[in-house]
Amino acid sequence: MPAKLVVDRLSHHYPDEYTGEDVHALDQVSLSVEDGEFSAVVGPSGCGKTTLLNILAGLLPHTEGSVQVDGREVGGPGPDRGVVFQEHAILPWRTVARNIGHGLEIQGIARSEREQRVQEFVDLVGLSGFEDRYPHELSGGMKQRCALARTLCANPVVMLMDEPFAAVDAQTRITLQEELNRIAIATRKTILFITHNVDEAAFLGDRCFIFSRRPGKLKATVKIDVPREKRIWKDLLSEKSYTDPRDEILRLVREEVFDDEE
Amino acid sequence: MSVLQTAAISIQKRFGRQRLRRIMLGSIPFVVLLAFWQMNTSMGWLPPVFIPPIGTIWEAIYTLSDGCTGASAVLSMQYECMFTNHILSSLGRVGLSLVIGIPSGIALGVLAGMSRRFAHALEPIGVFANAISGIAWVPLAIVWFGTGWLTTLFILLNTVFWLIFFNTLLGVRGVPRVYENSVMTMGGGRWAIITQVYIPGALPSIVTGVRMSMGFGWRALIAAEMIGGDSGLGFMIFVSAAEYKIEEVFLGVLVIAIMWMITDRLLLIPLERWTIQRWGMVWRPD
């Protein structure tokens, strides 16, 4: 299977905003994500996860190494990589429908086709009936569904997600995780999902990339061999094929977090 | 049920209880003021030279509108048709300054909000110009442009432009970065970011700028017309005062206040309601 996203020996340095000191954020990171694969990046805070995502999205130029999507070198942002951000990044001055259709509007897709596609994704994320609402009228979970639909509707090659469920409450998060799994089955998107939540990473990922503390290095890769259809929280908690890799990831991440205190 | 009660109920139904109560509360100070005004005349506290009887204000409208017969006379700005002539020329100046000042203020404000270099270039001159905004320019403007349209327009533009410029600049800077990033990752270019992110995102601030500039603009205009004008409400007030026509001075002041209230209610508040309130970007406690 051809890899959709290939990161090769990627390093990044930047001067600290206040002290001017050189910060080594990423060190020789190499990883690849296959077509239709759901990959998760886990690591302690400050390990350069978000820096990695910003580089992949093209929002940040990298200092060394290469990033390729579908065999093409990444230089700047582009519609081949869709991003779901951590905060609510949908525009407050656009209705749900116009937010979801925003990518298509930028691509210059005709209105009639756009409306059809938008409706498809409104239904997919369960926002039917809310098409004409403004974001401030939605709950936190609904805003993230809208953000997810906006990214999917533009049909990117790779979908990058930056801790998209970190700001919602625990119940909503569980629902959103199961729904994202359902959407991943339905759309077969290639996804790179960034999180600091070990359970979330193991629940969603086919493969988990574990990062070390700064400078962020790829420390280990853990595979989770649970069929997508079986990924439902109430069944998974006692499933060894889930708990074993989850515990392994937890151990690897804890090593990084507690190294300091010894 | 008496006729009065029926009328009261139908008015309540038409406007809504809450709104009616608000209007009634808001009009109390005006009623008190009018009552004192009327009492002053009937008790003879201060002579009519200082505070004219209310009735003479109406007479002043007639005196000043003497030559105004028909719409053509009003619109042709004949000098005899003084009252409407003054109102129209003041309105025209404010309107023109907004037509020029709002788009240019927004355009340069957005540029300065986007580009650090542009901001560095424009901010100091803006602070400099703002410090001498409004009427401080009048003497110089008279030397440059003489009395009349150009002088008053210059004063107005100096007020309107900088206020809109600074408010737009601050508004653009306050737009969360993530909106811009999200449009960029969808493939949006500079123009898409300006029209779909910066301008709508800065709108709460821009609307504040427009409101402020109209408020300050009206004040500056009146002052400019008094010293450097040849028509307009400020000019009318000044000339009337010099001729001891106190009722015309009162009329001019009242018209200015009423016109400001009308523009605020009919133009600015609905604009706010249609944009930033609908988007949940500001709250108006009601």
Handedness of CA A220, A226, A229, A233 (dihedral sign): negative
Same domain, A8 and A98: no
A8 lies in a domain? yes
Q: Which residues in B lie closer than 8 A to residue A58 (C-beta atoms)?
A: 184-185
- C-alpha span between A185 and A188 (Å, rounded): 5
Interface test with A, best of B184, B185, B190, B283 (most A CBs within 10 A): B185
A10 lies in a domain? yes
Q: Which of A98, A128, A155 is the last residue of a domain?
A: A155
Taking the CA of residue B188 and the nearest CA in chain A, the distance in Å comes to 6
Whole-number pLDDT of residue A105 = 95
Structure-token match 């508004």, residue found = B171
Q: Which of 134-153 (A) contact B at CB < 8 A?
A: 134-137, 150
- What was the ipTM of the complex prediction? 0.90
Whole-number pLDDT of residue B38 = 93
Taking the CA of residue B183 and the nearest CA in chain A, the distance in Å comes to 8
pLDDT tens digits for A86-100?
A: 877 999 999 999 999
Pairing of the two strands A64-69 and A3-15: antiparallel
Q: Which domain holds residue A73?
A: 3-80+158-261
Interface test with B, best of A59, A91, A94, A118 (most B CBs within 10 A): A91
Whole-number pLDDT of residue B1 = 62
Domain B61-277 has CATH 1.10.3720.10: yes
Q: Which one of B178, B184, B280 has the shortest CB-CB distance to A77? A: B184
**Confidence check: pLDDT of A1 > 80:** no
Q: Which is more confident, A183 or B83?
A: A183
Asked whether B64 and B54 are in contact (CB, 8 A), the reply is no
Closest residue, chain B, to A88 (C-alpha): B178
Q: Which of A155, A171, A192 is the last residue of a domain?
A: A155
Least confident range from A135-144, A179-188, B126-135, B244-253: namely B126-135
Same domain, A164 and A71: yes
Whole-number pLDDT of residue B284 = 55
The count of other CB atoms within 10 Å of the CB of residue A228 is 13
Same domain, A100 and A222: no
- CATH for A224: 3.40.50.300
A82 touches chain B (CB under 8 A): yes
Same domain, A24 and A124: no
Same domain, A17 and A76: yes
Buried b / exposed e across B37-51, counting CB within 10 Å, b at 16+? eeebbeeeeeeeeeb
Edge-to-edge strands of the sheet including A72-73? Answer: A22-34, A3-15, A64-69, A72-73
A175 lies in a domain? yes
Q: Which is more confident, B186 or A214?
A: B186
- C-alpha span between A45 and A30 (Å, rounded): 20
- C-alpha span between A34 and B1 (Å, rounded): 81
Contacts of B47 (CB under 8 A, 6+ apart): none
A85 lies in a domain? no
Q: Which one of A135, A136, A154 has the shortest CB-CB distance to B186? A: A154
Whole-number pLDDT of residue B78 = 54
**Confidence check: pLDDT of A206 > 60:** yes
Whole-number pLDDT of residue A214 = 80
Same domain, A32 and A50: yes
Enter the tokens of residue B231. 């028509």
Q: Which residues in B lie closer than 8 A to residue A59 (C-beta atoms)?
A: 181, 184-185
Whole-number pLDDT of residue A50 = 87
Span between the terminal Cα atoms of chain A, in Å: 43
A192 lies in a domain? yes
pLDDT tens digits for A46-74?
A: 778 889 999 999 999 888 899 999 989 98
A74 lies in a domain? yes
- B178/A136 touch (CB, cutoff 8 Å), yes or no: no
A73 lies in a domain? yes
The count of other CB atoms within 10 Å of the CB of residue B21 is 12
Closest residue, chain A, to B203 (C-alpha): A93
Taking the CA of residue B270 and the nearest CA in chain A, the distance in Å comes to 16
Cβ contacts from A onto B, under 8 A: 68
- A92/B280 touch (CB, cutoff 8 Å), yes or no: yes
Closest residue, chain B, to A153 (C-alpha): B186
Same domain, A75 and A164: yes
What percent of chain A clears pLDDT 70, i.e. is strictly above it? 98
Interface test with A, best of B179, B182, B195, B278 (most A CBs within 10 A): B182
**Confidence check: pLDDT of A30 > 60:** yes
In a 13 Å sphere around the CA of A238, the CA atoms on its Cβ side amount to 2
Whole-number pLDDT of residue A56 = 95
**Confidence check: pLDDT of A137 > 80:** yes
Burial zone of B173 (CB within 10 Å; 0-12 exposed, 13-18 middle, 19+ buried): middle
Whole-number pLDDT of residue A259 = 63
- Given a cut of 50, the residues of chain B with pLDDT beneath it are 286
In a 13 Å sphere around the CA of B4, the CA atoms on its Cβ side amount to 0
Give the number of domains in chain A: 2
Q: Cα–Cα distances in Å, from B275 out to A92, A133, A143, B199, B260?
A: 11, 14, 20, 12, 21
Same domain, A224 and A192: yes
pLDDT tens digits for B81-121?
A: 677 888 888 989 999 999 999 999 999 999 999 988 998 99
Same domain, A99 and A168: no
The DSSP output letter for A216 is: B
Taking the CA of residue A140 and the nearest CA in chain B, the distance in Å comes to 15
Same domain, A231 and A117: no
Whole-number pLDDT of residue A262 = 45
Same domain, A97 and A176: no
- B280/A136 touch (CB, cutoff 8 Å), yes or no: yes
Q: Which residues in B lie closer than 8 A to residue A81 (C-beta atoms)?
A: 185
Q: For chain A, how are helix, strand and coil distributed in percent, rounded to 5? A: 40, 25, 35
Enter the tokens of residue A241. 């094929």
- A107/B183 touch (CB, cutoff 8 Å), yes or no: no
Whole-number pLDDT of residue B72 = 61
Same domain, A148 and A197: no
Enter the tokens of residue A203. 């629940």
